[in-house]
Amino acid sequence: MASYRICKEEIFFQDRYIFCDPLDPGSFCRIFYFSLHQLVGYFKVKSNMKKNWLKELKKINGDTRLRSDGAATRRGWKDIYHVVILPTYKEDQKIIEDSIDSLVASDYPKEKIIVVLAVEERAGQIFKDQAESISKKYSAKFYKFLVAVHPVGMSGEISGKGSNTAFAGREVKEKIIDVLKIPYENILISTFDIDTKIFPQYFSCLTWYYLTEKDPINASYQPVPVYNNNIWSASPLSRVVSTSNTFWQMIQQERSEKLTTYSSHSTPAEAFFKVGYPANVVSDDSRIFWKAYLNYDGNYRVVPIYYMVSMDAVMAKSFWRTILNQYKQQRRWAWGCNEIPYMIFGFLQNKKISLWSKISHLYTVLDGFWSWATAALLLFLLGWLPIILGGQKFNFSVLSFNLPILTSQIMTISMFGMFLSAILSTLLLPPVPKTMKWYIRWFKKSTVFLQWIFLPITLILFGSAPALDAQIRLMLGKYMGFWVTEKIRK
């Protein structure tokens, strides 16, 4: 048994991994721990989605605060502006307008919302014209509507969402915020993926968190992502990967000390402009957090917002193209491993951050990326590979006979998390579109549970494989550029 305990197994839970010995009672505690976080996160989200946040905002009395330059400024909920940056690259006009329509439908006063449609010059004239057409359609519906065209070939940049967002941020600062002299502390900047659709009370909820948070400038604000925009048209594999990501984010919301910014999130303008949005990296959504964390000497955090924003699950024009796109998206996310050297060098240079904080953050990130790349493969290989390669002497050992039993125990434990996911995933789904025929709607609903049989495939195909791909590329210096996920809806 000692030889077994040397090579403990790991089990998968919601797109991440838990170190687990099936004979250890602590394993069941870990499963219970993560499942409890998942459940608590789910019920908090459901509760917050029902709450009247605008009513809650009206209960908050405005206060007067001193700015860094000594000037007094008043800050109540009616003083808070929201800048929404929507970076786009060759997306269909319908996708862009759907996202903007969700902003129009929000309950927050539109005279306090500034929209920046960030267009890439390299996309071509047709998409610049498309952006101008959208601007004419929506400019009267918001306080300000700005089209920012990101030039090609700017020095020190990597083409992609980060550089486009950084340029758009500078444009809105120079052309609107500074011209109108809006105090930075009264502005929240939301950087959204172009397919992000908010629910009606998102800005009211975000504003409430911002105004009630202690030291609100030194924090970013992270909602829970769901991938419901096209969920009923997406393949079962894409649905499993997307839903797993949502549940993992719910778990992380409950462990805010481990939370970093991800995908669509919001940053106070004062921090956004002081730190500078990253323009030379692929993983811009996490890098902005680490830049702020280092800049503020560790006094920076992510505040979890238990409110959803909806995006697209990966879908393409064919099944195999969908598989390829899903893999490339996961590989781009896994390229976040490049944060490890950035953190190490930043921690070595910054002597004001406590040693414990440095060790804690590094351990969390290292353990996460190591587990992402190896756990599913270990579970898959260690159950049968020793029996095949161990030879006759090993095959007659006690460990050889116990391996199938141990693997079965691991899978039994993991089934609990999978069953819980299957139940909760159905509760988060939007109604099946009535435009679908009744038998198609029935079939779609029936596959919600059955789709989880693909979990073992997604573990390796969209878990370990792209993570290893990204990490090996980083190790060999084969640096990646930003790959734009294709946006398809049916």
Tokens for 187? 């502005």
* Both tokens assigned to 17: 């991994």
Residue 142: pLDDT over 50: yes
pLDDT of 370 over the 70 cut: yes
pLDDT score recorded for residue 62: 59
Backbone angles phi and psi of 225, in degrees to 5:
-85, 135
Across 10-14, 169-173, 177-181, 316-320, least confident range: 10-14
DSSP state at residue 430: P
Superfamily classification of domain 46-326: Spore Coat Polysaccharide Biosynthesis Protein SpsA; Chain A (3.90.550.10)
Strand, helix or coil for residue 354: coil
Q: Read off the pLDDT band of 16 (50, 70, 90).
A: very low
Residue 456's pLDDT is 75
Smallest CA-to-CA distance from 464 within 371, 353, 399 is with 371
Tell me the average pLDDT of the chain: 82
pLDDT at 6: 33
Average pLDDT of span 259-286 = 91
Q: Which one has a higher pLDDT value, 412 or 181?
A: 181
Q: Determine the 3-state secondary structure of 268 from DSSP.
A: strand
Q: Does the pLDDT value for residue 87 go beyond 50?
A: yes
Residues 6+ apart with CB under 8 A from 372: 16, 17, 334, 463, 464, 467
Q: What is the distance between the terminal CA atoms of the chain, rounded to a whole angstrom?
A: 54
pLDDT at 12: 39
How much is the pLDDT for 446?
73
pLDDT for the residue 31: 57
Residues 351 and 168: their CA atoms lie apart, in Å, by 33
Q: Which pLDDT value is given to residue 47?
A: 87
Q: What pLDDT, on the 0 to 100 scale, is given for residue 402?
A: 58
8 Å CB contact between 230 and 339? no
The kind and range of the H/E element at 103 are: helix 93-104
Helix axes 236-254, 25-50, angle to 10 degrees: 90
pLDDT at 484: 83
Band of residue 33 on the pLDDT scale cut at 50, 70, 90: low
* Residue 1: band (very low, low, confident or very high) from pLDDT cuts 50, 70, 90: very low
Q: How far apart (Å, rounded) are the C-alpha atoms in residues 210 and 317? A: 41
Mean pLDDT of 141-150: 96
State the pLDDT at residue 415.
Answer: 59
Q: What per-residue confidence (pLDDT) applies to 403? A: 59
- Whole-structure pTM over 0.75, yes or no? yes
Mean pLDDT of 363-388: 76
CA distance 41 to 222: 13
Highest mean pLDDT among 66-75, 236-245, 402-411: 236-245
Angle (CA) 40 43 45, round 5°: 105
d(C-alpha 364, C-alpha 357), whole Å:
11
Q: Is 244 exposed, middle or buried (0-12, 13-18, 19+ CB in 10 A)?
A: buried
**∠63-67-73 over CA atoms, to 5°?**
40
Residues of the chain with CATH 3.90.550.10: 46-326
DSSP 224: E
Q: Write down the pLDDT at residue 21.
A: 42
What token pair was written down for 38? 């998942």
Q: Mean of the pLDDT values across residues 278-291?
A: 91
